[in-house]
Amino acid sequence: GRDFFMYQHMFNQVVEGLDRDCEWGFEQLMLLIHQIGWGETFFFAITSFIPLYLVVRAVKDEPDMYVPVIAVFMLYAFWQPTANVLRQVIAFGFFAVSIKPLQQKKWLLHYLLIAIAFLFHKSALALVIVYPIFALNRYEAYIKDVGSQLIIFALAFLLMQFGLVEWLIDAFFNVIVLLGYADSAAFDTHMYYEDFSLGLGFIIRMAVNLMIICHSKEIKEHFKSTPVAIIYDIWFVGMILSVIFVQSMSIARMLLYFTQLAIFVMAYALEYFRREKPDYFWVMLALMFLTVLALSKSFWFAGGTVAGAVGCEYLLMKLGKTGEMRAVNENLLEFLNFLGNYMLFLR
């Protein structure tokens, strides 16, 4: 994406002094990598690995979820933004880790992690409202009825047709600038007058979302000891708003903290289907792979993404809790290895 070259420039310039605003935490990370003597290749490698580590860290008490979380992160195009919106993806990682303390009513730890996220992207300031919203409901989920979700999901597609992007930018421009999205808002204003259409990737993603919504009650019940109900609520709100404002880059950036939680929602759904409904498991995996193809328009990219997923799983298995991690999700590992070998065969 366009941000990649901006971050490349920032990294090479940071020692002499940056010519644009940058959060303190991210600037210190760049300076540290410079002091160690590593170049920009290691900079992008490290900033790509940090979100992956934090995402796995978010489920550290659930060894059975390590493989599906890594697989979704790598296979379903969540890994791609780590070479583009670097600061916010790192901030998202800390937000993901903060959800478990929210469930455990550990408000101090939750806000400490939000504060660290703020050091990497100031948009994390908006996340301070999450804790009190769930505290008001005694840390219970708000969204429970599947029928209501389906109605809201359908209404989102109707509202999408009204083109609310320009109105929203005019009404909340100062807030958008405060959270660091002035460039995206300017891009939205330009794109609002251009032809806009939705592709196959979007349609397949919505099909996956529909599968998850229809089984959400069973998924949350199956993993009721985990924060999945809270994660699902936040993701659902973000997903609905992202559909309504699908034309807006600035809104998509602001909603990233919510929509990226699909990593966990989809991972829990995959694991539930694997255990209880194997046919749905294979259907969902097939849809995920088709999404990668639709977004990339390349078998080679899809094969590389799958190979990356397998490689990262192997690396993290070697780094810690080897015994526990090897015992989980054998079917998923076999499927990913099959896809990787198939892509090598095509080559």
In this predicted model, what pLDDT tens digit does every residue of 97-146 receive, in sequence order? 999 999 999 999 999 999 999 999 988 998 999 999 888 877 677 888 99
Give which of 273, 261, 275, 202 is closest to 232, Cα–Cα.
Answer: 261
Is residue 207 within 8 Å of 150, Cβ to Cβ?
A: no
Cα–Cα dist 314/296, whole Å: 25
Average pLDDT score over residue span 154-169: 72
User: Where does 78-199 have alpha helices with state H?
Assistant: 86-103, 107-120, 130-136, 146-160, 165-171, 173-178, 182-191
Tell me what pLDDT residue 118 has. Answer: 95
Tell me what pLDDT residue 322 has. Answer: 45
DSSP string, 241-271: HHHHTTT-HHHHHHTHHHHTTHHHHHHHHHH
Q: What percent of the chain has pLDDT over 70?
A: 71
Tell me what pLDDT residue 314 has. Answer: 47
Look up the pTM and report it: 0.80
Give which of 50, 141, 40 is closest to 88, Cα–Cα.
Answer: 50
By the 10 Å C-beta count (0-12 exposed, 13-18 middle, 19+ buried), 190 is classed as exposed
pLDDT tens figures, 231-279: 999 999 999 988 888 877 777 788 899 999 999 999 999 999 999 999 9
By the 10 Å C-beta count (0-12 exposed, 13-18 middle, 19+ buried), 5 is classed as exposed
Give which of 165, 163, 203, 161 is closest to 181, Cα–Cα.
Answer: 165
Tell me what pLDDT residue 320 has. Answer: 46
Give which of 196, 176, 178, 198 is closest to 186, Cα–Cα.
Answer: 176
Helix axes 146-160, 200-214, angle to 10 degrees: 160
Tell me what pLDDT residue 82 has. Answer: 66
The contacts of residue 120 (CB under 8 Å, 6+ apart) are: 23, 25, 26, 87, 88, 90, 91, 94
Per-residue pLDDT band for 326 (boundaries 50, 70, 90) equals very low
pLDDT tens figures, 32-91: 999 998 888 889 889 988 998 999 999 999 988 988 898 888 777 677 666 678 899 999
Is residue 299 within 8 Å of 293, Cβ to Cβ?
A: yes
Cα–Cα dist 269/249, whole Å: 28
Is residue 280 within 8 Å of 200, Cβ to Cβ?
A: no
Give which of 133, 261, 174 is closest to 209, Cα–Cα.
Answer: 261
Average pLDDT score over residue span 148-174: 74
3-state DSSP helix/strand/coil % of the chain, to nearest 5: 80, 0, 20
By the 10 Å C-beta count (0-12 exposed, 13-18 middle, 19+ buried), 113 is classed as buried
Cα–Cα dist 316/331, whole Å: 18
